[in-house]
Amino acid sequence: MTVSAETASLGERLLSRLDQAATYSRPGPGVTRLYCSEEHRRLLLLLEEWMTLAGLEVTLDAAGTLVGRCPRARAGEPTLILGSHQDSVIEGGKYDGMLGVALPLLALETLRERNIDLPFGVEVVAFGDEEGVRFPSTLVGSRALAGSFDPAMLDGRDADGISLREALTGLGVDPTRITELARDPARVLGFVEVHIEQGPVLEQEDLAVGVVTSLTGIERHHIRVTGKAGHAGTTPMKGRHDALVGAAEMVVEIDRQLNARDDMVGVVGQLEVRPNAVNVIPAQVTFSLELRSPQRVTRHDARRHILAALEPIAAARGLQCDISLAYEAEGVECAPWLIESLERACRECGEPSKRLFSGAGHDGLAMCDLTDIGMLFVRCRDGLSHHPDEAITADDADVAIRVIMTWLSRLDRFSDPVGAPSD
Ligand code: CO
């Protein structure tokens, strides 16, 4: 469906563009558009068209990020970077990622039509890979800009054995030049991403948009519970060292502790039973524990209490419990001047300025090494994402684009970023 530019609201035009982008997908339910895929390559032409309409000059960088720059950005003036990722999960939705690419482009196009000249450089990026679905690596595009890209990632292979190096070459770029993409922090004003909330908070509070204060920190543990295998028919129940029963008690205890707190979330998402046979007492269970909170103190406090509870559970059944930290990434704070200026823009558009944190990772986790980051969340139906039924309304899209246009046109005093006109 195409909507008329004369009569449709900005929100309706935005949704129509997102519908169009969603057709660049592998066949099947929802949207499947992986990094450096044929769908990615074809989508670049559509994005190039939108970028041109927004007055931006377009290049495809060595990491497969499509970059649109306004004349001031090309001239080397301090530049604000807007954008998000073009890729989706397998059978994902139309909005996760693409909203944050399409929205700033339509906002800039509209400002241009209204002859509003922004007194700073603007650039819109469509990162190739944020979801990390195809290759072992993720955030390739944003890490490249931040100068934290590790060239060893180029050797990572997808399920078909194609390396990231080969895939990027197939997209038509030269991956050996990724390390040249690092930006000069002195010329970047900040990075702002618009994204669907992927959670229920805005919906519960009946709000169209919210301003993000921080991106969550994440830690993951491997927990191995070792007992003793035995014949399931001939070993008496008393005195068994059943690793699965011990692990089950641990999972319930973890869930109990996490439910008793309201400041963080966590999950046991993976469980492996050995020998995993119908008639053998489980000898060993390995499971994952993931904890997320924007506050490191909170996360570490939960870790301490949870892990301390596992040992006694193991001991009571004569099991051995080994715990190792597999991954830890610190949370990232959004810049106060971006939070405050986005809030001001919300209020100016007649919207309450709700603050919330992001429980999901985003390109900001990499971009924060380069510059200040900010995010605006848009309400999504049922808090649902990574699913074909992902949905936002035209009214909410309209609010979000007006907030971003207002925010952009008020950000005219970067020497005193929080000192924009007060209302
Ligand atoms: Co996303």
Which residue ranges form the domains of the chain, and what is each CATH number? 10-215+332-414 (3.40.630.10), 217-329 (3.30.70.360)
Encoded tokens for 408:
């952009």
Q: Is the pLDDT of residue 299 over 90?
A: yes
d(CA 211, CA 343) in angstroms, rounded, equals 7
**Among candidates 303, 297, 247, 256, which has minimal Cα distance to 276?**
247
C-alpha neighbours within 13 Å on the C-beta side of residue 109: 20
Q: Is the pLDDT of residue 241 over 90?
A: yes
261: region left, alpha or beta (phi > 0 left; psi from -120 to 50 alpha): beta
Give the phi and the psi of residue 322 in degrees, each rounded to 5.
Answer: -115, 130
Taking the centre of ligand 1 as the mean of its atom positions, its distance from the CA of residue 97, in whole angstroms, is 4
Taking the centre of ligand 1 as the mean of its atom positions, its distance from the CA of residue 125, in whole angstroms, is 14
Q: Is the pLDDT of residue 422 over 60?
A: no
Taking the centre of ligand 1 as the mean of its atom positions, its distance from the CA of residue 252, in whole angstroms, is 31
* Mean pLDDT on 224-229: 96
* Mean pLDDT on 338-365: 94
Taking the centre of ligand 1 as the mean of its atom positions, its distance from the CA of residue 129, in whole angstroms, is 10
Taking the centre of ligand 1 as the mean of its atom positions, its distance from the CA of residue 284, in whole angstroms, is 36
Taking the centre of ligand 1 as the mean of its atom positions, its distance from the CA of residue 256, in whole angstroms, is 30
The pLDDT confidence band at residue 329, using thresholds 50, 70 and 90, is confident
Cβ(186)–Cβ(176) under 8 Å?
Answer: no
**Model's pTM, two decimal places?**
0.85
The tens digit of pLDDT for each residue in 125-181 reads 999 999 999 998 889 999 999 999 999 999 999 999 999 999 999 999 999 999 999
Q: Is the pLDDT of residue 321 over 50?
A: yes
Taking the centre of ligand 1 as the mean of its atom positions, its distance from the CA of residue 98, in whole angstroms, is 8
Taking the centre of ligand 1 as the mean of its atom positions, its distance from the CA of residue 133, in whole angstroms, is 12
Taking the centre of ligand 1 as the mean of its atom positions, its distance from the CA of residue 96, in whole angstroms, is 5
Q: Is the pLDDT of residue 68 over 70?
A: yes
Calculate the average pLDDT of the chain: 94
Taking the centre of ligand 1 as the mean of its atom positions, its distance from the CA of residue 362, in whole angstroms, is 6
Cβ(41)–Cβ(86) under 8 Å?
Answer: no
Q: Is the pLDDT of residue 357 over 80?
A: yes
Q: How many CB atoms lie within 10 A of CB 336?
A: 13
Going by their DSSP bridges, the two strands 209-215 and 217-226 should be labelled as: unpaired
Taking the centre of ligand 1 as the mean of its atom positions, its distance from the CA of residue 11, in whole angstroms, is 20
Taking the centre of ligand 1 as the mean of its atom positions, its distance from the CA of residue 35, in whole angstroms, is 13
Cβ(396)–Cβ(210) under 8 Å?
Answer: no
Q: Is the pLDDT of residue 413 over 80?
A: no
> Is the peptide bond preceding residue 275 cis, with omega within 30 degrees of 0?
yes
* Mean pLDDT on 366-385: 97
Torsion angle, CA of 100/158/92/98, rounded to 10 degrees? 10
Number of H helices, E strands in the chain: 12, 14
Taking the centre of ligand 1 as the mean of its atom positions, its distance from the CA of residue 88, in whole angstroms, is 8
d(CA 157, CA 363) in angstroms, rounded, equals 21
Give the model's pLDDT for residue 328: 87
Give the model's pLDDT for residue 4: 63
Taking the centre of ligand 1 as the mean of its atom positions, its distance from the CA of residue 85, in whole angstroms, is 7
Taking the centre of ligand 1 as the mean of its atom positions, its distance from the CA of residue 196, in whole angstroms, is 8
Taking the centre of ligand 1 as the mean of its atom positions, its distance from the CA of residue 131, in whole angstroms, is 7
Q: Is the pLDDT of residue 398 over 50?
A: yes
Q: Is the pLDDT of residue 2 over 60?
A: no
Taking the centre of ligand 1 as the mean of its atom positions, its distance from the CA of residue 361, in whole angstroms, is 8
Taking the centre of ligand 1 as the mean of its atom positions, its distance from the CA of residue 104, in whole angstroms, is 15
Give the phi and the psi of residue 343 in degrees, each rounded to 5.
Answer: -65, -40
d(CA 277, CA 274) in angstroms, rounded, equals 8
Taking the centre of ligand 1 as the mean of its atom positions, its distance from the CA of residue 378, in whole angstroms, is 12
Specify the 3-state DSSP secondary structure of 217: strand
**Cα distance from N-terminal residue to C-terminal residue, the chain:** 39
Helix (H) or strand (E) holding 104: helix 98-113
Encoded tokens for 190:
């900040």
Taking the centre of ligand 1 as the mean of its atom positions, its distance from the CA of residue 291, in whole angstroms, is 20
Taking the centre of ligand 1 as the mean of its atom positions, its distance from the CA of residue 384, in whole angstroms, is 12
Q: Is the pLDDT of residue 62 over 80?
A: yes
